[in-house]
Every structure is written in structure tokens, then in C-alpha cells.
């Protein structure tokens, strides 16, 4: 199943350019079958998601959130499969976030780990999330190469994501899961069990931006 794990939309994420409707339309055109909406420090509610799902029945729309783990905002983590606001209150306590996520079967992903820092504290001292981003629209080349080495050393699964902020950046970096995602939490066993492939595969060139 063609799946996006990391999506920002305007206006819920101030850095996003396009509305959720514009981004979902671009994803549907590009053949995506599932998407996680992961705004900065904001979760979509059940009611909002139900309405959105009714409008766009051809793609599965799942909840998540991107947390800044420190006040400087230099380390980010996705929590996938949840609409629970409590994650936002816990954002500066990575240990508590990871413990809650394990209990509730929410997948945690360290985002763009080498985008702004040499080595994120979380990789130096733990606790470790379930997985780590490899390549995204904002994390390629040297940064991705360092993520590859860091993940191998720690035996962490790597995922590709779009880190989508605009419709033009869909269809470049994503996952193909071996099994269909039925429920928001289905992504965790799929990633932990390695039942997915990276698109593009390791080392291969992504499609140019704007080709959706």
C-alpha cells in the first residue's frame, strides 16, 4: 500500500503551504492509498478526520503528530496512529512519550535526525524510538547517509517519508507496505517487522519535484 507517514497542512502547521484538500487531491492523483496527518504539536480530532475521510473515500486518512522534543526545536519525533492530545503535553519528556507510545501501539519515528544537529541527544543517550527517517524532501544526501549508518549501528528500521508541506512534493519519498493498513496502529507492526519497502530504494534517485 503506497503510504505517506509525514504530512503537514495549512493552516494547522504554520510551515505548510497547501491545504489538506489540495495535498490529499495530489496524493490521490499519485496513487497513494494511505496517509498520516502529522502537524506540529497538533492532533486532528476524530470528528475532523471522519469528515475528511467522507470527502476523500479513496485514500485512508490516519492521525498522528510531530513533536518537538526540546524547547529549541532541534529534535522532532512522529507519533503515528493517535489523536491523543496528551502527547503534546508530554512533548519535552521523550521517555514518557516513548513509553506511552509502546503501551498504545503507536509508532514513534525520529524525524530528519541529521538535518540540524551533529547527532541528536536521543541517539547518543537514548531512549530510542521505534524507527528513524532515512530520506525525505528535507533530508537527503549526506544527512540520509548518516541516518543509514546510525540506524544500522542501533538496529533501527529506516523509513522514507515526504515530510510533505506542499502538493508539489508528493510522490518522491514514501513507503510501500506489504499489507493494507486498516487501522491507525497497523503501521507499527509493519515497520517493526520490516514488512515494507522504501521508495525510492536505497541509493536510487527520487522523482523530480512536481511530478505528481
CB of 38 closer than 8 Å to CB of 7: yes
Which CB atom, from 4 or from 66, has the smaller least distance to Zn ion?
66
> In terms of CB distance, is 40 or 155 closer to Zn ion?
40
In the window 75-114, what residues touch Zn ion (CB under 5 A)? 76, 111
135 sits near Zn ion (criterion: CB under 5 A): no
Number of H helices, E strands in the chain: 7, 9
The reply on whether position 35 binds Zn ion by CB under 5 A is no
Cα distances from 115 to residues 60, 119, 135, 137, in angstroms, run 29, 10, 11, 11
Count of residues of this chain found to bind Zn ion when the rule CB under 5 A is applied: 4
Candidate list 66, 130, 133, 186; residue touching Zn ion; CB under 5 A: 66
Q: Tell me the closest approach of the beta carbon of residue 171 to Zn ion, in angstroms.
A: 17
- Specify burial of residue 109 (Cβ count, 10 A radius: 0-12, 13-18, 19+): buried
Shortest Å, Cβ 70 to Zn ion: 12
**Of residues 114, 191, 195, the one with CA closest to residue 148:** 114
| Residues of this chain that bind Zn ion (CB under 5 A) | 66, 76, 111, 163
Amino acid at each position: 500500500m503506497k503510504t505517506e507517514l509525514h504530512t503537514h497542512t495549512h493552516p494547522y502547521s504554520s510551515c505548510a503551504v497547501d491545504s489538506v484538500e489540495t495535498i490529499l487531491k495530489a496524493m490521490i492523483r499519485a496513487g497513494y492509498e494511505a496517509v498520516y496527518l502529522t502537524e506540529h504539536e497538533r492532533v486532528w480530532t476524530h470528528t475532523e478526520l471522519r469528515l475528511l475521510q467522507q470527502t476523500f473515500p479513496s485514500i485512508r486518512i490516519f492521525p498522528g503528530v510531530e513533536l518537538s522534543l526540546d524547547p529549541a526545536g532541534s529534535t522532532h519525533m512522529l507519533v503515528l496512529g493517535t489523536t491523543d492530545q496528551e502527547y503534546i503535553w508530554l512533548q519535552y519528556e521523550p521517555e514518557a512519550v516513548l513509553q506511552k507510545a509502546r503501551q498504545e501501539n503507536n509508532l514513534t519515528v525520529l524525524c530528519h535526525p541529521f538535518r540540524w544537529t551533529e547527532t541528536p541527544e536521543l541517539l547518543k543517550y537514548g531512549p530510542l524510538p521505534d524507527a528513524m527517517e532515512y530520506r525525505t524532501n528535507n533530508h537527503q544526501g549526506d544527512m540520509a547517509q548518516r541516518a543509514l549508518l546510525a540506524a544500522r549501528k542501533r538496529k533501527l528500521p529506516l523509513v522514507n517519508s515526504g515530510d510533505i508541506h506542499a502538493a508539489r512534493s508528493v510522490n518522491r519519498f514514501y513507503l510501500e507496505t506489504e499489507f493494507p493498513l486498516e487501522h491507525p496502529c497497523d503501521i507499527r507492526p509493519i515497520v517493526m517487522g520490516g514488512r515494507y519497502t522504501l521508495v525510492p530504494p536505497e541509493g536510487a534517485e527520487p522523482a523530480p519535484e512536481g511530478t505528481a
